[in-house]
Amino acid sequence: MRKNASDGGKDRGALQIAEDPSILGLGDLVLKEKERLQPRAGRLDLLLQDADSSTRYEVEIQLGGTDESHIIRTIEYWDIERKRYPQYDHYGVLVAEDITSRFLNVVGLFNGFIPLIALQMSAVKFDDQISLLFTKVMDAMTLGLPEEDEEGQAATDRNYWESIRGTKATVAMADDILKLANGFAPDLELKYNKFYIGLAQGGRPNNFVVLRPQKSSIRAEIRLAPSAEVDQELEHAGITVMDYDKRWKRYRLQLAKEDIKKHAPLLTKLLALAYGVKPDVGGGLKTQVA
């Protein structure tokens, strides 16, 4: 089948993106596959993956303006890939030279349920070189974290957790975990909410970890992207790890009193990473639990 001029232009655009995916402005991306065959659904132009996380982008390119078939293909390929590889977070990316207001109105109905990103592509000529520029005209809507919805509406106190949800002993475990975090952020304090115990800093929530005391243990949910290194460290330590929460990007650890003391260095490292502090290789972080 002979390709028309627009097909050739699309191929050149796909080639430039494949050679340097960073030009899309979506971060440090690497090419996973080009012209990826989809079961009974054609070929996906580009499959890109974030170099530092388990995020994939299903990219469809169209010269000219967006149309219904472009939208449908992007959503269909995104849906196929997320079902085949649920261990990744998936985003559908539509690239076009002209993204119309009609398109934005239609796709806006999906946003929040289907994570879609729209990029408008333009070509700029410098001497004999043609470069592509990409402008993000629609970003995927980030759903609020559950604790953000609860914040300010479900505040409670320590007695509630000690007498109803957990026990004095398991709430004391929250104190132990706070001490680990205070090693790198001394101004952190516990904040008691109806569904979890969070952390506050300067009077504002900073829930890089949420704690859920139970009757005989505590569940610590640490906000970290999935990592093979973290998985190995947790497995080697023998800490009980529940299913990774892909929706909210949290490691969920079931901890007994002795776990916090025994694995204080590892827990401190994970908390520091979630907070945004790189742990001191020389052991500079305080990891003692009284």
State pLDDT tens for residues 167-177. Answer: 999 999 999 99
Average pLDDT, the chain: 83
pLDDT the model gives residue 6: 47
Whether pLDDT at 28 is above 70? yes
Task: Give the integer Cα–Cα distance in Å for 252 and 165.
Answer: 18
d(C-alpha 76, C-alpha 60), whole Å: 11
Q: φ, ψ for residue 58 (rounded to 5)?
A: -95, 110
The set of residues, in sequence order, having a beta carbon less than 8 Å from that of 49 and lying 6+ positions away, is: 29, 30, 32, 55, 56, 57, 88
Percent of the chain with pLDDT over 90: 45
Torsion angles phi and psi, residue 276, rounded to 5: 110, 15
Token code pair at residue 266: 């590892």
Question: Quick one: average pLDDT of 62-70?
Answer: 80
Q: In angstroms, what CA-CA distances link 98 with 17, 119, 120, 146, 166?
A: 18, 9, 6, 36, 56
Confidence band, pLDDT 50/70/90 cuts, at residue 280: low
The reported pLDDT for the residue numbered 3 is 39
pLDDT tens per residue across span 224-274 = 988 889 999 999 999 999 988 877 889 999 999 999 999 999 999 999 999
Of 70, 11, 79, nearest to 46 by C-alpha is 11
pLDDT tens for 93-123 read: 989 888 877 777 777 777 667 888 888 888 7
Q: How confident is the model at residue 147 (pLDDT cuts 50, 70, 90)?
A: low
Written as one letter, the residue type at 97 is: E
Q: Which domains does the chain have, with CATH numbers?
A: 5-138 (3.40.1350.10), 146-275 (3.90.1150.20)
Give the model's pLDDT for residue 134: 86
